[in-house]
Structure 1
Amino acid sequence: MHVLGIDVSRGKSSCALLHDHTVIKEFRIIHNKSGFSKLKSVITNDLPLTAVFETTGVYSRALTRFFNDEGLQYLEINPLESSIRMAGLRRQKTD
């Protein structure tokens, strides 16, 4: 299965397409018609795919709407929950 990781920011997103923990493609999109068209072309070529991104309030709403409108599978993660889960994976500095 392919996973599309999306880092959402104001008006744009950085994306990484992964398969078996290997990055296949990295790209950026702008949250407009041409950006979502580019995103759709990547998604339709590499099915089955699940997109994953953090809920970032108004910035992630455009992506949520895109995935809902297209009927595509996605997972929105609460930023606080992901921060807590990631804390256990990071090495702690000892110096």
Structure 2
Amino acid sequence: MWDAKRRVLKIKSLKHGIIQDKRGNVMRAVFGMDVSKTSSEVAILVNGEKVHGYTILNDAIGFNRLLGDLKTVHNPEIIFEATGVYSRRLQAFLEESGYAYIRLAIGQSASS
């Protein structure tokens, strides 16, 4: 699923981008992003456990790297904080690529 430098998941299968554990339970994949002026920190979590993290530039090259990872899983959850003009490029990219996302307002938690 991710390259050798990344943490290996203990999963049964990754068929059609659906991550399953050894019992066949579907596992949740979440991409959380901390967006700043020129770059974004990306954290990938599976069932709440961080399995990988990296930094991308907020440009076409960085967004294409993110897109490559998003395409590896079925229906990824994407969450990022609304940081005004900084997050608008990411938001536009996700919309153009057909991905749903959750944009958190500053001070809002994911559960609210």
Q: Do these two structures clear the TM 0.5 threshold for a shared fold by scoring above it?
A: yes
Unaligned 5+ runs, structure 1: 86-95
After superposition, give the CA deviation of every residue in 1:48-81 in whole Å (9 maximum; x if it has no partner): 2011011000000011001100010210011132
Instruction: Count the aligned residue pairs.
Output: 83
After superposition, give the CA deviation of every residue in 1:2-55 in whole Å (9 maximum; x if it has no partner): 110100101110000001111111011101111011000000002220110110
Distance 1:16 1:51 in 2: 10
- TM-score of the superposition, structure 2-length normalised? 0.70
Instruction: Give the fraction of aligned pairs with identical amino acids, expressed as a percent.
Output: 30
Unaligned 5+ runs, structure 2: 1-27
- TM-score of the superposition, structure 1-length normalised? 0.82
Show the counterpart of 1:81.
108
Give the letter aligned to residue 54 of structure 1.
Answer: E
Instruction: Judging by fraction of residues, say which structure has more helix.
Output: 1
Structure with more contact order per residue of length (Cα contacts < 8 Å, sep ≥ 6): 1
Counterparts of 1:1-95 in structure 2, within 5 Å, are 1-82=28-109
